């Protein structure tokens, strides 16, 4: 056992050395598996915070580094810089498949069982979501981005269909805000300028509306069995779907692009084609994970716009409800500070990591608990 531990430690140290040399000589990210990342994390626990952060920022995962793993390792890293670097690394992997070892070798359910699961899920969306009480929640957003880059051989008047930036993400800022959910509506503090909004892809309606939109669209399209996954509390049934633009009710919001006057920043808003996955509790129909990946048009201000929302049990007023606990919005598109005529050649990766905490009941006349202009804009109502 001691020999095995030593071999793993040496493997981790070797990986760190390769990463550092590779980053220094080529400026490229090193692609590794979840198992290899855990070897690295084991090897660098006693290193300085900034050094560990630099190592992690030079990596790119080929598999999903799940929330349970992320929570475990964040408590063992040497400081805030390395913790944020690990969050960025894990968030970029949120849309990948889990490691093969985390895919249960369970038989594919027959069509009757699949239909039963979807019926339970439809019932959950239409009934349980409306049974949520009025509540406050604290939304904590951590933003990351890389340096804008120029894809090779890109026409100035169009975007490439696919583009990949091989640069490390850097921490930009972190902020919190109080949101209000009342009678099926998700309510947000009014903002007067795009600089006060999350840059990149914005997905604010993570409670009832986004669930209803995805289920409504998926129900009218092809919803097919994908696979089993091992979740934090048991097996999860995963279904895939694809929605064309003409059938979509998903309003994509991207911040920000310059208007026709080339001076004012405006929100891009448009119903878009998208595809994704829904992971559900097979016995209750509860949605535990929702993935939406936009299929952009050549004229859109982005070439990637992906969102994942994870749901879990939270206590509100002494009762337990299933609510969003974490989400990731990842986009590759125009940086809004770009003003040069050929700005369509510049693309930037922007990532917003969002955690939802401090759920508490809302009662009329109750202050939100934060000091800022408490005026409101209304989001789309729930289904």
Q: Which of 92, 124, 152 is the last residue of a domain?
A: 92
Range of the domain at 252: 111-381
CA distances from 124 to 47, 127, 247, 323 (A): 47, 5, 23, 12
- Residue 13's pLDDT band, with cuts at 50, 70 and 90, is very low
95-148 tens-digit pLDDT = 999 999 889 989 999 999 999 998 998 888 878 777 888 899 998 999 999 887
Query: With left for phi above 0 and alpha for psi between -120 and 50, is residue 168 left, alpha or beta?
Result: beta
Residues 34 and 135 in one domain: no
Higher-pLDDT residue of 105 and 237 is 237
Residues 154 and 287 in one domain: yes
Q: Which residues contact 3 (CB under 8 A, 6 or more apart)?
A: none
CB 272 within 8 A of CB 294: yes
**CATH code of residue 141:** 2.50.20
For residue 235, what are the β-bridge partners? 230
Residues 161 and 274 in one domain: yes
For residue 173, what are the β-bridge partners? 143
Residues 156 and 122 in one domain: yes
pLDDT at residue 79 tops 70: yes
pTM: 0.80
Residues 170 and 62 in one domain: no
185-208 tens-digit pLDDT = 777 654 434 343 456 776 555 555
């Amino acid at each position: 056992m001691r020999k095995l531990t030593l071999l793993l430690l040496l493997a981790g140290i070797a990986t760190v050395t390769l990463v550092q040399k590779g980053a220094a000589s080529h400026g490229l990210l090193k692609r590794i598996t979840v198992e290899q990342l855990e070897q690295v994390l084991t090897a660098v626990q006693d290193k300085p915070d900034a050094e560990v952060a630099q190592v992690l920022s030079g990596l790119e995962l080929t598999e999903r580094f799940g929330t349970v793993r992320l929570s475990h390792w964040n408590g063992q890293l040497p400081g805030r810089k390395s913790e944020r670097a690990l969050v960025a690394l894990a968030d970029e992997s949120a849309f990948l498949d889990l490691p093969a070892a985390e895919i249960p070798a369970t038989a594919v359910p027959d069509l009757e069982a699949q239909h039963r699961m979807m019926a339970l899920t439809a019932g959950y969306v239409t009934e349980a979501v409306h049974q949520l009480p009025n509540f406050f929640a604290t939304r904590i957003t951590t933003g990351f981005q890389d340096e804008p880059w120029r894809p090779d051989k890109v026409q100035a008047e169009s975007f490439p269909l696919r583009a990949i930036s091989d640069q490390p993400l850097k921490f930009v800022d972190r902020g919190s805000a109080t949101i209000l959910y009342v009678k099926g509506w998700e309510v947000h503090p009014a903002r007067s300028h795009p600089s006060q909004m999350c840059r990149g892809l914005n997905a604010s309606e993570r409670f009832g509306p986004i669930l209803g939109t995805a289920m409504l669209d998926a129900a009218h399209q092809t919803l097919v069995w994908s696979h089993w996954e091992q979740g934090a509390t048991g097996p999860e049934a995963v279904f895939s779907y694809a929605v064309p633009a003409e059938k979509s009710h998903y309003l994509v919001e991207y911040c920000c692009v310059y208007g026709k006057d080339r001076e004012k920043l405006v929100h891009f808003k448009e119903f878009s084609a998208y595809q994704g996955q829904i992971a559900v509790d097979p016995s209750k129909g509860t949605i535990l994970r929702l993935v939406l990946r936009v299929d952009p048009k050549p004229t859109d201000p982005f070439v990637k716009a992906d969102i994942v929302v994870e749901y879990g049990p939270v206590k509100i007023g002494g009762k337990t409800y299933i609510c969003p606990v974490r989400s990731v919005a990842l986009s590759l598109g125009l940086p809004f500070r770009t003003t040069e005529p050929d700005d369509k050649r510049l693309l930037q990766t922007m990532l917003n990591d969002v955690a939802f905490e401090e759920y508490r009941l809302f009662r009329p006349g109750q202050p939100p608990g934060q000091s800022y202009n408490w005026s409101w804009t209304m989001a789309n109502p729930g289904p």
